[in-house]
Structure 1
């Protein structure tokens, strides 16, 4: 009994049962997905080891990965380093955590320019892959294009970080970024267990994190890998969060 209790504390029993469950679900046929493509986003922002400044965080890395939900291929990527303007000097803690240097953000672009570049990338995808978003078409129009949705690990990236930075700086935010899939919440609901971070969630389904944690690009790629695994296991991805239109944002802007 003591051995069993120790094993449970170490996570051995829990991990074995989860791995077994995932192995069994691999044999299931994939259910039809609502979205043909997912765009995974994982921002990195200014940060300090002093929480008093957490409400003025600014995006310093803006990555996005396009995932094909029919085959798991990452077909396109967007990446930009962003200049923080409210607190332009990165803390030592921030550089150690994210690996992003002062020189990289100094050579980056303001968020306004980054959003414009991102919108051009989206427009290119719409042209090349016939991608459409749920906020840009009426019900029943999905047959006219490849339906796409955004994915984040928690609501923080689009619901807090970008939302309030655009509001503070009076920037036009692409309206398509007002709806997304929270993969952390979806994971918890689908597997009936609460993940202890992205790396832990990957480990629980037998995936080894590739790259550096807290690199926005690596986090986005690994989140895409997890989303694909969940799709293979039978999870149908659905929008979990939508923001109301906010004054100052352009609803016609992509």
Structure 2
């Protein structure tokens, strides 16, 4: 008896935004940039709604949160020290948020590449499936812009408010999801996201 294939909901999209350790200049010797927060908003493209939002704090192992990083994100070393491991964050994405079977989007390709970099080290399994959508590229094409805007600039272009704090993963994912729905409302969100451009 074979198991049934995983249930797929093509109208559901995971919008992901990560924050990572950073410095005002070069990282300290031996330190590398690591994810410290994963923000995720679930979008129902059929209903045109944001239906869930989540935030996962992640404990860095080879770096710590600098004062510059705290000023940017609002996150402190004490906060992220109480987070889950990166491997556990990947498991949560797979097991609790259908990351392997659901398409996902981020603002640009940074988030995808950061996951790929960290998953190249032993111990963490890449949590996502093959379908990643570069929402920045789709938005740029929808509005016929010559340059790809940052998220806050794109909200201005779309006439949407910035909700919450910029550079917090949970809030940024929520705002990016609003931009996804804005583009979908213009009829420009890809039906087959595998054909969309990326920053690669």
Report the counterpart of residue 84 of structure 2 in structure 1: 109
Q: Distance in 1 between matches of 2:107 and 2:35?
A: 16
Greater gyration radius: 1
Change (3 A) 1:150 1:241: farther
Residues 157-193 of structure 1, C-alpha deviations (whole Å, 9 max, x = no match): 01x21101111344211251x4300011111122110
Structure 1 or 2: more helix by fraction: 1
CA displacement at 1:63 relative to structure 2? 1.5
Report the counterpart of residue 61 of structure 2 in structure 1: 85
TM-score by length of 1: 0.67
Q: Distance in 2 between matches of 1:175 and 1:229?
A: 24
2:156 equivalent among 203, 221, 225: 203
Structure 1 stretches of 4+ with a deviation exceeding 6 A read none
TM-score by length of 2: 0.84
Residues 36-88 of structure 1, C-alpha deviations (whole Å, 9 max, x = no match): 111100000000011456x921000011111001222222233210000011x
1:72 equivalent among 43, 48, 53: 48
**Structure 2 gap ranges (5+):** 1-8
Q: Secondary structure at the match of 1:42?
A: strand
Q: Secondary structure at the match of 1:189?
A: helix
Report the counterpart of residue 96 of structure 1 in structure 2: 71
What number of residue pairs does the alignment pair up?
Answer: 184
Report the counterpart of residue 217 of structure 1 in structure 2: 170
Q: Secondary structure at the match of 1:43?
A: strand
Q: Is the 8 A contact 1:42 1:220 kept in 2?
A: yes
